[in-house]
Amino acid sequence: MFDSKGNYFFKNFKDFLNVYDQACKVLNGPEEFYRLVVAALKSSAQHGVIYTEFFVSPDFCGGGDLVAWREYLAAMEAAASYCEANMAVYCRFILTPIRHLGADRACVIADIAQKTIG
């Protein structure tokens, strides 16, 4: 999955998507996403970044389940609040479907997005 330098090892875009999906399997709960957001924002702050945006999907965060998605989002928002208060680095989350899962799945994710904000 990774080359000798720690980069993703893939041959083409489709292969990259498969490798990426495999790498993400270790992120299997809200706590992991909390730690991921903190780690990413800490790295950002160390490089002088003061604002960033994360594209997140309910497909990866809760398997497309609205209740689970809300738990993941709450954990990520708590991590963002922690980083804002302690590192002066800010972020926002952009909800997105996973393109290669198809249009029908994107409609499910769009419904989750609407229910999350509404």
| C-alpha dihedral sign at 45, 51, 93, 74 | positive
pLDDT of residue 29: 92
Determine which of 13-17, 50-54, 84-88 has the lowest per-residue pLDDT on average.
Answer: 13-17
User: Percent of the chain beyond pLDDT 70?
Assistant: 99
Place of tokens 């997140």: 56
Strand partners, 101: none
Average pLDDT over residues 77-90: 97
pTM: 0.81
Phi-psi region of 63 (alpha: psi -120 to 50; beta: other; left: phi over 0): left
- Distance, in Å, from the CA atom of 106 to the CA atom of 99, rounded to the nearest integer, reads 7
pLDDT of residue 118: 57
For residues 57 and 66, is the Cβ–Cβ distance under 8 A? no
Query: Per-residue pLDDT tens for 36-70?
Result: 999 999 999 999 999 999 999 998 888 889 999 99
